Structure 1
Amino acid sequence: MTRSRTAAALAGLAVAAVALSGCVAKADAAGRSQNLSVTSTDQECTVSGASATSGTIDFAVKNTGSQTTEFYLLAHDGLRIVGEVENIAPGASRTLTVTAQPGSYYTVCKPGMVGDGVGRTAFEVTGGKVEAAGSDAARQKAAVDQYASFVKNQVEQLVPAVAAFTAAYAAGDDAKARDLFAKTRIPYERIEPIAESLGDLDPKIDYREVDADAEGLPWTGFHRIEKDLWVPAKSALNSDAQTPAWQDWKPSTTAERQKYAAGLAANVKTLNDYVHSAKFTAALEAAGVAGLSNGAISLLDEVAKNKITGEEDWWSHTDLWDFAANVDGSKMAFSLVEDLAASKGSEGKALVARIDKAYRALEAKLATYGNASSGYVSYTKLTTDDKRQLTDLLNALAEPLSQLTSTVAA
């Protein structure tokens, strides 16, 4: 799709809610610290306890494996990062200090710092709510820092997923590649505006044929591969609903498949290198929390412009996977700044309540079509009324969400 690659789009997806918890200095944390030990190996992530009371928790992480590792405390949804320590070399130790609110969490280690991690285990925090410490400025910095952690985590999952997907495609195992296509795209769709901010990187990774043609760019990436995997019928039209799908196009040769596969993997590596760089950190800090709230809005706009029409995954009809991932990212961005918005008086609290209710309604509707674990129905199964209902829910969310940036920036 045609996308605006502006600085505001940089903060498009989001992550851990400050309302849940935040990484803090020990001196700033409320209450007495609780100490837990973590042993990270190449296959396991063992925590000395499965619960703690709300307040400051110290996780002392020892890496006894052969690879550099990371340790995460994840929120109940498994996406939001409450705290992390990274770059723990073999034989080294690091401590993660968090102030955790009551609730359900997960602990997980990531040897090699790519993939989904190992040893994901439920972790419960009991007790009463802990008041957030620090000034607005400190809380805003924590929000930006946790967003950076989320983006890194998503791209670290994307790298091996793309490797498996492109390997199947290049080898001609189309059944496996088709099965992996929608799943592989989920982390990318959650952090899509990051690539959009990097010049031609998003076009190389995710442009549709009609968009590449309109801008005079070579057509590569996910959707070039998608058309090979779901070969269109001779009578099919491209996503502009006018151009014959076979016009100036033919299925890729083995050599071309290898080229497209290597290109997608290389471009995803470029994205991974960027999100682990000082340049990325500086860009996020410059965007600030206003950039994060704008990101929530831009991702919802992405859904309204392209996913709801079924034009994103024109050949595979896996649009609902992308739809849900964009909503995930948008909601994470909202979660990141909702505490700040609610602190702006009664109007801020009312706005947060409206937005939260609208997200829940949209998610409930999406859940009737499936989920990321078991899969979503083909977009071709949706009726005109289904699409109208989704559009109405999107509009009901977009209106209050449009007020979020001015509220958090006030």
Structure 2
Amino acid sequence: MSVSTRPLLLGAGTALAAVVALSGCTQKAASEDDALRVTATDSACEVSAKDFPAGHVTLNVENKGSKVTEVYLLFPDDRIVAERENIGPGTKASLVAEVKAGDYQIACKPGMKGDGIRQKVEATGKGKAPARSAEADAAVASFRSYVLAQAEQTLPRAQAFADAVKAGDVEKAKELYAPSRIGWERTEPVAESFGDIDPKVDVREDGLEEGQDPAKDWTGWHRLEKALWDEGKIGDREKELADQLMKDLEDWVQRVGTAEITPTSMANGAKELLDEVATGKVTGEEERYSHTDLVDFKANLEGAAKSYELLKPVAGKNDPELVKTLDERFAALTELLDEYRTDKGEEPDSYTYVSYDKVGKADRKELSDGVNALAEPLSKLSAAVAK
């Protein structure tokens, strides 16, 4: 393994915040007749029924367009109940969610940009809300507490980073950049459920919407990352952005307690975090200037593991073989990632990892294979907890 020894700080612990109830899993509906079919094209978002019984709902999504698309289930105020990203042209996905009675919108986003093509739908009260076991209720309660703790713990780390930026201290800001993101990365699906926060704090330049000006509209961590590593300087604009970052993160902390959390959203959020690793961290795209990708990787993995561990008492009763496989795959990927640690001490709150630009092509493929090996069985967790 050809790697650098440049340290990257990472707090220990495991976490996940996932309110999305529709995520990157591919599952069979219990009955094709009961499933809600969503057909996405480049110009339409067709839904097979405009109302359906509340409870455990299966959506069978097919992308018949020429562009990669996303499908969202939204509250009327645009909070995200559930989402499924990266649905390629000509592909299908079946998604399981726990949905309360009420009005919603389903949005398809061809090209994964904009507000999407929307359809109004209603979850009716005809179907009883799914009965939860004591174990499932305990998992949700523990997870909610964890999400709140992660958000609150992010603020002082982010403030230290912002203070270094405002002081014009490039090297100190570089040192504090990755640690400031750990809580966010562990709980990203919950943060993304508030659709207006993620684009402010965690968007990359190529993720800006059409017509947005990077000089004026690009804010958040990655804009500061570029200034620190690519430009090597801090100007008045960056100091303003540091204050804006803190304002947006404080907004996130205030709202995170209102997130909708269910056993299926926790399970699907775990899979979504693995998808984040596969599409952004293993590729090196997320932290393209700082190369702190393995810090994010670790935080995403910890998040997925936290959700899984809380749901294991439920899933173990319904699908013990799945639990056995997930135990093995989580352990294997954790062990593989730990090969890239540069500190071998026992300090629980700080890990150091190699700079990702020093990780070779073969090693990146090995990491990718490990992620995929875990993602496949993890995609079945929501079905296991919904039984």
Shorter-chain TM-score tier:
0.5 to 0.7
1:219 is matched with 218
The answer to whether the aligner puts 1:404 opposite 2:381 as a matched pair is: yes
Q: CA deviation at 1:225?
A: 0.5
1:231 is matched with 230
> Secondary structure at 2:133's aligned position in 1?
helix
CA RMSD of superposed structures (Å): 2.3
Deviations 1:320-355 (A, max 9, x none): 0001100000111111111111111xxx11110101
1:108 is matched with none
Question: What is the aligned residue count?
Answer: 256
2:235 is matched with 253
| Structure-to-structure mapping, 1:94-243, within 5 angstroms | 136-212=132-208, 214=210, 216=212, 218-232=217-231
Q: CA deviation at 1:8?
A: 2.4
Unmatched tracts of structure 1, length 5 or more: 12-134, 234-250
Cα distance in 2, alignment partners of residues 10 and 391 from structure 1: 19
Bigger relative CO (Cα 8 Å, ≥ 6 apart): 2
Letter in 2 for 1:264: L
Deviations 1:232-257 (A, max 9, x none): 59xxxxxxxxxxxxxxxxx6522x12
Give the TM-score taking structure 1 as reference length: 0.59
Cα distance in 1, alignment partners of residues 364 and 150 from structure 2: 29
Give the TM-score taking structure 2 as reference length: 0.63
Cα distance in 2, alignment partners of residues 383 and 257 from structure 1: 32
Structure 1 runs of 4+ aligned residues shifted over 3 Å read none
Deviations 1:227-283 (A, max 9, x none): 1110259xxxxxxxxxxxxxxxxx6522x122101110001100110124xx33xx2
Letter in 1 for 2:340: Y
Change (3 A) 1:10 1:268: farther
2:339 is matched with 368
Query: Which residue among 358, 369, 392 is the counterpart of 2:329?
Result: 358
Cα distance in 2, alignment partners of residues 378 and 320 from structure 1: 8
- Whether the 8 Å CA contact 2:20–2:190 is kept in 1: the answer is no
- Whether the 8 Å CA contact 1:213–1:219 is kept in 2: the answer is no
1:262 is matched with 243
- Whether the 8 Å CA contact 2:166–2:242 is kept in 1: the answer is yes
Deviations 1:298-319 (A, max 9, x none): 1101111111100001100000
1:316 is matched with 290
- Whether the 8 Å CA contact 1:8–1:295 is kept in 2: the answer is yes
- What's the % identity of the aligned pairs? 40
Letter in 2 for 1:272: V
- Whether the 8 Å CA contact 2:200–2:220 is kept in 1: the answer is yes
1:8 is matched with 21
- Whether the 8 Å CA contact 2:20–2:268 is kept in 1: the answer is no
Deviations 1:126-182 (A, max 9, x none): xxxxxxxxx952221111111110011111110111111001011101111100111
Cα distance in 1, alignment partners of residues 224 and 312 from structure 2: 38
Change (3 A) 1:296 1:153: same
Cα distance in 2, alignment partners of residues 9 and 352 from structure 1: 21
- Whether the 8 Å CA contact 1:206–1:222 is kept in 2: the answer is yes
- Whether the 8 Å CA contact 1:9–1:193 is kept in 2: the answer is no
Query: Which residue among 272, 277, 296 is the counterpart of 1:303?
Result: 277
State which structure, 1 or 2, has the greater radius of gyration over its C-alpha atoms. Answer: 1
Cα distance in 2, alignment partners of residues 196 and 296 from structure 1: 13
- Whether the 8 Å CA contact 1:10–1:193 is kept in 2: the answer is no
Deviations 1:203-246 (A, max 9, x none): 1010011112557371100001111110259xxxxxxxxxxxxx
1:380 is matched with 357
Unmatched tracts of structure 2, length 5 or more: 1-17, 25-130, 344-348
